[in-house]
Each structure stands twice: as C-alpha cells, then as structure tokens.
Amino acid sequence: MVTALSWISGHAAQGSGDRSEVMQGSLVNAEVFGAVFDACFGDIHGYVAQRLGADHAEDVVSDTFLIAFRKRAQYDPARATVRAWLFGIATKLIGKHRRLEARTLRALGRYGPDRDAPGHEDRVTARVSAQSLQPSLASALAALDQRDRDVILLVALAGLSHEEIATALGIPYGTVGSRLSRARKKLRGSLGDTNPMLVPEEADHG
C-alpha cells in the first residue's frame, strides 16, 4: 500500500559513498575538496530545494559547502559520514529560513503543485517537490514544529539513520526517536490516520 510519503521514494538519496578520506586529503590540498562537492552536491541540493524551493536552494547549498570547507578540519570521520555531516549543516541553515519553509508548504497546501498562488509572497516557490508533493501532506508538514520537521525529513528525504541524525544535528540519539515519533503522530492525525512514513515504525534505523 502506498503511504503518504511515497512521493519521496524517487527523491531519497541513494548515497554518494563516504568521502572521509577525501575530506582529510583536502586539509593538505584544498583543491581536493572539489571531489566532496561533486559527489554530494546533488543530494544536498535536492534536499534543500524540496524544503525551501528551487529559487532559494542555490544560496543555502552554496553556504553549506562554504561552511563545510571552512570547518573541514573539524570534521570527525569517526562520528559521521561526510554526507551526513553536510546534511546537518544544510538543515541548520534551513532553520534560519523556517518562516519561508512554512509559508512555502502552506502555499502548496492551499494551491497544490500545479498552480501558482496569487501574489509574490505566496507564489509557489513551493516547488518543494512541485511534481509530486500532495497539498494535504504539505499542510501537515507546515504545521510541525521546526525541530520535528527537520528529523522526519532527514529520514524521509535524506535517508539518514537515527544515529546519523543525532550526530548531524548534535542532539541525543533518544531525542531523534522522540521527535520522529511525535512528528509521525501529528502527521498521521492530520492525514486521516495514514502512516506518514515509507518505512515501518518499528524498523531500526540506528
């Protein structure tokens, strides 16, 4: 049975491999960092675009890689893959645009993916997943607390495990589970008791 987030299946990243050795090499030769950019840009850009819209993704993604480059000496391969680390940076930057994201999702919830909302403010920059995001799901996501939305979309869009999310966001492992559970419950209530996740709730992501 197709679930409410089945639209994500075509967008969830398949993984770019771990680039930790490349990251370490970039400390010696900065140009090597380009390999990290090339390997992970698509995944990060897709994630940001689905949350803020394509019009705003470029700046956020550019800032994500700029911060990663500047802080590459702080990257610890024992704690996270490069990809998970980048998703954490991007998510924190998205948090600075929480009003834009909520407005984008609400606009998509009102007008759907195929119609532009009247007025510049609401014009569907809601290209979040403009080809497939259902209005009902967009509205439900908009109603979530930012922290809960971060966790559920890092699972659904980025395919990160609980442990990766905990490391990427700098929160306890148990907090990831509680936020995800709360987000699922709220989405299910908004969507008429439909399971809002692609994966069974009992699945172990750790």
Q: How far is CA 156 from the centre of its chain?
A: 8
Task: Provide the residue-wise pLDDT of the chain in tens; the chain has 206 residues.
Answer: 233 343 333 333 333 445 677 777 777 788 888 888 998 999 999 999 888 888 889 999 999 999 999 999 998 888 889 999 999 999 999 999 888 888 878 877 776 554 444 343 333 333 334 334 567 787 888 889 999 999 999 998 899 999 999 999 999 999 999 999 999 988 888 887 665 543 345 444 44
Return the closest-CA partner of residue 103 out of 48, 164, 42, 52. 52
Q: Is 76 exposed, middle or buried (0-12, 13-18, 19+ CB in 10 A)?
A: exposed
Pair of tokens at residue 30 = 């900065």
Residue 33: which residues within 8 A CB-CB, separation 6 or more? 22, 23, 26, 69, 72
pTM of the model: 0.74
Domains and CATH numbers, the chain: 17-190 (1.20.140.160)
Question: Amino acid identity, residue 174?
Answer: G
Give me the phi and psi of 67, to 5 degrees please.
Answer: -65, -40
